[in-house]
């Protein structure tokens, strides 16, 4: 179960009281989870109790969802993008398995970013990580431990969500970065930063969510089954988060 929006005056204690008897969690822990900044996953809940729990949350002025794995799977597969260019109608996406796809600018809904940068063995605060991203990108809110570059393969994924059912993904390990031209760098992570700037210049009003690296995924997320997931070597954690966010935004 997830809280999508919550009025400022509504507290986690109030929501925990509203959910009393509907979920199997200690009330104090439940109030802490309900106090998280929305959108947020509160806890796994059995589908038999989901409707009553959502109604209880909504009576407190919140919006909530309780999608099942099937709901997330029904969002569709991840369409992996090899190259991007721009024409007079919008984005032209060359994909690995679906040929050439066209996305008008007006049909871009939001972006989701997974950017894990190896910067040595240190703990980065939200403020330090936010300094690495442009100010109008949706900000990080949770601490994150970075990794030893000698032991960690950096990862950068960028999902393009449309107003329809399609999710296009740029994976730095599979993308050409040809659109960068002479600006293209040796490092995939540096190229992703340049690509992010390109998209923000193109669509400055479109939100970019970078909250995945601070997200605690619920138990069982790895059971998500998507078409071509094994072929694409999908990151199931990021796939879960990106689809969950789509359902939250649509709510």
Question: Residues 125, 45: one domain?
Answer: no
At 146 the pLDDT is 38
User: Distance between the two ends of the chain, CA-based, in angstroms?
Assistant: 13
The answer as to whether 119 is a domain residue is yes
pLDDT of residue 148: 40
Q: What pLDDT is attached to residue 129?
A: 46
Residue 140 is predicted with a pLDDT of 37
- The pLDDT tens digits for 175-186 are 999 999 999 888
Same domain, 43 and 104: no
- What per-residue confidence (pLDDT) applies to 198? 93
61 and 180 housed in the same domain? no
CB 85 within 8 A of CB 179: yes
Q: What is the pLDDT of residue 116?
A: 66
Q: Using CB atoms within 10 A of its CB, is residue 237 exposed (0-12), middle (13-18) or buried (19+)?
A: middle
The dihedrals phi and psi of 232, each to the nearest 5 degrees, come to -80, -10
How many folded domains does the chain comprise? 2
Q: Looking at the domain assignment, is residue 23 inside a domain? A: yes
Shared-domain flag, residues 121 and 237: yes
Among 10, 42, 66, where does a domain finish?
A: 66
Instruction: Please tell me the predicted confidence (pLDDT) of residue 200.
Output: 93
Q: Which of 59, 41, 169, 42 lies closest to 103 in space, CA to CA?
A: 169
What is the reported pLDDT for 127? 54
Measured CA to CA, the distance from residue 216 to residue 244 in angstroms comes to 13
**Domain boundary residue among 25, 43, 66?**
66
- 94 and 58 belong to one structural domain: no
122 and 19: one domain? Answer: no
Residues in the chain with pLDDT < 70? 116-154
Within this chain, do residues 59 and 93 fall inside the same structural domain, yes or no? no
pLDDT tens digits, 111-157: 999 876 544 444 445 455 444 444 334 433 333 333 343 344 557 89
Contact 146, 117 (CB under 8 A): yes
158 located within any domain: yes
Q: Are 244 and 72 in contact (CB under 8 A)?
A: yes
Confidence (pTM) = 0.80
What is the domain extent for residue 81? 76-250
- How many Cα neighbours within 13 Å face the side chain of 38? 20
Q: Are residues 136 and 219 in the same domain?
A: yes
Residue 31 is assigned to a structural domain of this protein? yes
Pairing state of beta strands 40-41 and 78-87? unpaired
């Amino acid at each position: 179960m997830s809280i999508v929006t919550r009025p400022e005056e509504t507290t986690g204690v109030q929501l925990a009281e509203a959910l009393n008897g509907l979920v199997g969690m200690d009330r104090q822990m439940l109030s802490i989870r309900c106090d998280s900044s929305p959108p947020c996953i509160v806890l796994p809940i059995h589908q038999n109790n989901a409707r009553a729990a959502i109604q209880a949350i909504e009576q407190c002025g919140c919006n909530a969802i309780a999608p099942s794995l099937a709901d997330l799977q029904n969002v569709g597969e991840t369409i992996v993008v090899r190259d991007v260019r721009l024409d007079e109608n919008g984005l032209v996406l060359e994909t690995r398995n679906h040929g050439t796809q066209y996305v008008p600018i007006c049909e871009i809904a939001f972006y989701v970013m997974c950017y894990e940068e190896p910067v040595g063995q240190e703990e980065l605060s939200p403020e330090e990580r936010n300094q690495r991203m442009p100010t109008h990108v949706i900000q990080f809110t949770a601490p994150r431990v970075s990794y030893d570059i000698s032991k960690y393969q950096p990862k950068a994924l960028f999902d393009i969500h449309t107003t329809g059912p399609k999710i296009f993904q740029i994976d730095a390990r599979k993308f050409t970065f040809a659109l960068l031209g002479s600006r293209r760098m040796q490092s995939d992570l540096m190229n992703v930063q340049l690509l992010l700037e390109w998209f923000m210049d193109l669509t400055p009003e479109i939100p970019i969510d970078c909250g995945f690296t601070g997200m605690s995924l619920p138990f069982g997320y790895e059971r998500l089954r998507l078409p071509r997931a094994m072929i694409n070597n999908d990151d199931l954690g990021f796939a879960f988060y990106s689809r969950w966010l789509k359902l939250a935004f649509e709510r």
